[in-house]
Amino acid sequence: MWWKEPVTSLKGIGVKKAAELAELNIATVGDLLEYYPRQGAYLDYANLKKIKDLLTDGSKQIFKAEVCQVRNGYGSSRRAYTLVTVRDETGYAGLYFFASQRYKAQKLALGMQLLITGRVRQGRTAKSVSEVDVQSVGAEETKTPGILPVYALSGNLSQNNLRKWMAEALKLAAKELPESLPEAIVKKEALPDRLTALRNIHFPASWEALREAKRRFVFEELFLLQCGLLYYRQQSRDQREGVKHGADGALLRQVREHLPFELTEQQQKAWQEISLDMQDKRPMHRILQGDVGSGKTVISALALAKAAENGYQGCIMAPTEILAAQHYDTLREFLQPAGLRVALLTGGMRAKARRELLLNLELGLIDVLVGTHALLEEDVRFAHLSLTVTDEQHRFGVEQRARLANKSQIAPDVLVMTATPIPRTLALTVYGDLDISLMKGRPPGRKPVQTLCYNESRRREVYEGLVRQLQAGRQAYVVCPLIEQSETLRVRSAENVYEELRGGALKNIPCALLHGRLKGAEKEAIMADFAAGKIKALVSTTVIEVGVNVPNATLMIVENAERFGLAQLHQLRGRVGRGDKQSYCVLLAGTDSPEALARLQVLHDSEDGFYLAEKDLEQRGVGQLFGLRQHGLPDLRIADIMRDTDTIVQVRRLAQQELAKPNGRQELRRMVDMQFGERFGMIFNT
């Protein structure tokens, strides 16, 4: 199979070029062909303009011309530039290269034929071109009219290199190329066949052909991803039996009666769904999505109690020690009165205590085990585990979750709790057919957090407000993007802010510095002191992002707020407003950029984490927010989760139909393996 051969099997690719291709994640000839041109980056060679016909409205245009002069000069305020004069038979144009762009001009020599893109305006004597991109045009290329691809490059690779190799690889594809989608679907959706689409995505016959090729690959990518998710999920459901828990009994009633509050309607509904799942023989795969402060912990407590009521053990894994310790306290409060035995396992435990705990766990003397990823260690063995809960799941990869679930002979029920609202489109892509329980809003009696966005000029006022809150007996967080001062970034670091506050506004007020580089025990001690009110102000990095609950904290100041995503800021903001007092979140922007301030303003306007997460996706793209890879999934090459929502919904339905067909499963398996290889299966086959 030629597509599995290394790229060196192509003419013209040696070890050195192969290494450069490897940087682009291209190892095989198949990888190469799937390396699509940059989004929208094609040169319309068929419609090259003459210099005389170039519009001078500042729009980006493409033309071909010959270099006739290269000269360096200084512009206003002594800005260095290089001016390259080019000509064709209709006239002259000047290409301007400024500052860091000047290297592009260095390679140019008199007489070179160039393909030029840039913004064209009318200069004093000739047309001037800025934001210039040039490519020297080889003799054979001048003869090929049409649309040429532009690839993202690495090392010393050139566009010509890639174009030549693509053409070679396409020749191989012409001889043999299996269809990757079911024929019936290709036909019904009127998609171009795979070979035609491959040809047109690299060397489009027309813009229309290119559009069709893209449509096909977006469809293919999303469809096969969905097939993979469905196939392996189904597989895992068939492999191990789950536990059929009984209906809620006396113990659960007792736990519920002892709760210090009534469940809200949203909580009741979520609990109902989880409870029914647990009573089903099929293992539960449910994600509980609840905005920060929506009260997810108590739901996990009920689920854990239910496991115990049925004679099984349950565990809950949190991403940080601070959070695990907090869960431990809360769960003890909820569950111990009903006689349940709750234990805490962390990385920093002493050997003797740990041994004892593990022994008790294996003997079944512990009902609920709370911990960090320390739970994943080989020697953590349960007597009979029937429920795993992971909190704040975006911190854990798919593989870690799977490792936890594998700690049981039977397939345990899996509950994943997340405060990161996952937009529906992403949930469909990443979680396939995982069931979702939603809790919107918060328990009653909690005032919304007032959010204010300021720039540097208001810092003094903001600090005065901080002092006022502390004097009134409240507590505050000051969050910074970095621990230490960075040489390159002009950002206020936690260390700097801490020193500054201690020497100034917060003189004589107990405060502390908290960041991820402190040892677990140190962090815990600081958090404990803060929770107990001994520390009034906590200067920290985003380590406090997840979960900690200090109701007396009523103010959060975020330094350089422009450096955070909206969803993350919302998450941070969730640390305040946890009591009955009015709380405030002040976003201090280290910039005056109107766009940055407008972006932050969205937080002032909305407290809906789901809305904010969607906004964040729009603004920053999926890659920034949750890389698919972080979830153990392959990166998408061409599909876009925000743009292609409709396709996602459509292919999901189609994939389900395929799966339901006789032989559907083998067929899906074949297609998925062909596309993603075995790695994908390894991750999902749990």
The whole-angstrom separation of Cα 623 and Cα 616 is 11
Number of residues that bind ligand ADP (CB under 6 A): 18
Contact 67, 97 (CB under 8 A): no
Verify binding: residue 264, ligand ADP, rule CB under 6 A: yes
What does 83 interact with, of Mg ion, ligand ADP, none (CB < 5 to 8 A by kind)? none
522 to 551, contacts with ligand ADP by CB under 6 A? 547, 549
The residue assigned the tokens 């297609």 is 671
**Binding ligand ADP by CB under 6 A: which of 292, 301, 335, 478?**
292
Name residues contacting ligand ADP, limited to 637-666 (CB under 6 A): none
Token pair 């005032």 is at which residue? 447
Least gap, CB of 268 to ligand ADP (angstroms): 9
Alpha-carbon distance of 192 to 523, in angstroms, equals: 58
From candidates 547, 565, 609, 632, binder to Mg ion by CB under 5 A = 547
The label of the residue with tokens 């937080």 reads 603
State residue 39 phi and psi, 5-degree precision.
Answer: -45, 120
Give, as ranges, the residues between 242 and 261 that touch ligand ADP (CB under 6 A): 261
Instruction: Please state, in angstroms and rounded to a whole number, the distance separating the CA atoms of residues 536 and 540.
Output: 13
Count of Cβ atoms closer than 10 Å to residue 433 Cβ? 16
Task: Check residue 481 for interaction with Mg ion (CB under 5 A).
Answer: no
DSSP per residue, 328-391 = HHHHHHHHGGGT--EEEE-TT--HHHHHHHHHHHHTT--SEEEESGGGGSTT---SSEEEEEEE
Q: What residue 648 binds from Mg ion, ligand ADP, none (CB within 5 to 8 A, per partner kind)? A: none
Radius of gyration of the chain (CA): 30
The CA-based dihedral angle spanning residues 180, 183, 188, 191, taken in that order and rounded to the nearest 10 degrees: 40
Give the Cα-Cα-Cα angle 380, 276, 657 (nearest 5 degrees): 95
Applying CB under 5 A, the site for Mg ion has a residue count of: 1
Cβ distance to Mg ion smaller for residue 274 or 668: 274
List binders of ligand ADP among 115-144 (CB under 6 A): none
Q: Which of 32, 84, 225, 419 binds ligand ADP (CB under 6 A)?
A: 419
Report, in Å, the least distance between residue 296 CB and Mg ion: 5
Binding of ligand ADP by 294 (CB under 6 A): yes
298 binds, among ligand ADP, Mg ion, none (CB under 5 to 8 A by kind): ligand ADP
Site for Mg ion contains 295 (CB under 5 A): no
The reply on whether position 293 binds ligand ADP by CB under 6 A is yes
316/654 with CB nearer Mg ion: 316
**Three-state SS for 633?**
coil
Report what 261 binds from ligand ADP, Mg ion, none; CB cut-off 5-8 Å by kind: ligand ADP
C-beta of 105 vs 303, nearer to ligand ADP: 303
Shortest distance, position 297 Cβ to Mg ion, whole Å? 5
Phi, psi of 111 (to 5 degrees): 90, -10
Residue facing ligand ADP at closest CB distance: 295
Two structure tokens written together for 37: 């041109």
Shortest CA distance to 223 belongs to which of 614, 686, 659, 666? Answer: 659
The entry of Mg ion, ligand ADP, none near residue 267 (CB within 5 to 8 angstroms by kind) is ligand ADP
The footprint of Mg ion on residues 418-477 (CB under 5 A) is none
φ and ψ at residue 282, rounded to 5 degrees: -65, 135
Select from 193, 124, 194, 134 the least CA-distant residue to 158: 134
Query: Is residue 554 within 8 Å of residue 476, measured between CB atoms?
Result: yes
Of 192 and 314, which has the nearer Cβ to Mg ion?
A: 314
Interaction between residue 469 and ligand ADP (CB under 6 A): no
- Quick one: how far is CA 476 from the chain centroid? 29
Closest to ligand ADP by CB, 262 or 522: 262
Q: Does 298 bind ligand ADP (CB under 6 A)?
A: yes
Residue 574 as a binder of Mg ion (CB under 5 A): the answer is no
Do 639 and 623 meet the contact criterion of CB atoms below 8 Å apart? Answer: no
Binding to ligand ADP by residue 568, rule CB under 6 A?
A: no
User: In the bound complex, what is the minimum distance in angstroms from residue 421's beta carbon to ligand ADP?
Assistant: 12
- Give the interface with Mg ion as residue ranges (CB under 5 A): 547
List residues binding ligand ADP (CB under 6 A).
261-264, 267, 290, 292-298, 419, 443, 547, 549, 578
